[in-house]
Amino acid sequence: MDLEFLQSMDIQILVGVAVAALAIVVGAVYLFASTKSKGCLDPENFKEFKLVKRQQLSHNVAKFTFELPTPTSALGLPIGQHISCRGKDSQGEEVIKPYTPTTLDSDVGYFELVIKMYPQGRMSHHFRELRVGDYLAVKGPKGRFRYQPGEVRAFGMIAGGSGITPMFQVARAILENPKDTTNVHLIYANVTYEDILLKEELDSLAAKYPGRVKVYYVLNQPPEVWDGGVGFVSKEMIQTHCPAPAPDIRVLRCGPPPMNKAMTGHLDALGYSPDMQFQF
């Protein structure tokens, strides 16, 4: 009887040890997953990421794909926020500029930047010289934009030039979330047709989510055959292509400073209160 009792005790001890070991393993996995979910960015210190692909989209625009530490790593960038990139200008002096990736944290293992390189741009020089195998110093996340799915009925978006990147990121996050029913109304202004960034991707979103995405292109110098807007974005264009002022809508804007100033004036005149507006 005593022997049976001791054997029973041994089994109980072994089971207890096994349960404890399992709990430790589960806890470690949870801790690892929690740590991993925070992403690869550091808000205080620059970290370097390797360029693994460079795709030239036009004479002055390229898509840069950077590798994250593991195939399952996420960058760790909240929707609508941006990163700071550090490089050197043509004089060899350090320059830091903000950019918004076109990828989301659901795009694991890598992140992408679509960059328009201007002739006199200091950071543009750095990207022109960047080759596959080189590293880019990045810090973040940065930005004041905060978004919770479904917090508004619709977003109006007014973008100019490379200001399309935060709009594209927000639109993708909304539309790829099956629980988010927010609608997107985008006005996108450029000088020429060739200047339109991410056009194929934007048109694809509009085709894939009919009724939820509307894209209106505006050009200063349109081609002969053109069914979009012509000139600068006007109050009439905003009235026609953006949701009307209401407590449950918000208008986002991102573009060159003169455009942002003009759009603020238009939106104020049309009755959009300050809390209905956000500038990236």
Q: Which residues are catalytic?
A: 82, 99-100, 254
215 is in an annotated binding site: no
In the sheet with 183-190, reading across from the earlier edge strand, the strands are 229-230, 213-219, 183-190, 154-160, 249-254, 277-279
In the sheet with 135-142, reading across from the earlier edge strand, the strands are 94-99, 82-88, 135-142, 47-56, 61-67, 110-116
98 is in an annotated binding site: yes
149 is in an annotated binding site: no
191 is in an annotated binding site: no
38 is in an annotated binding site: no
Q: In the chain, how many H helices and how many E strands? A: 6, 12
157 is in an annotated binding site: no
Contacts of residue 279, defined as CB under 8 A and 6 or more positions apart, other chains included, come to 252, 253, 254, 260, 264
Q: The tokens 């989510």 sit on which residue?
A: 209
- Hey, CA dihedral for 219, 221, 223, 227, is it positive or negative? positive
99 is in an annotated binding site: yes
42 half-sphere exposure, CB direction, 13 A CA radius: 8
**Binding residue ranges:** 98-99, 114, 116, 123-124, 165
**Binding residue ranges for FAD:** 98-99, 114, 116, 123-124, 165
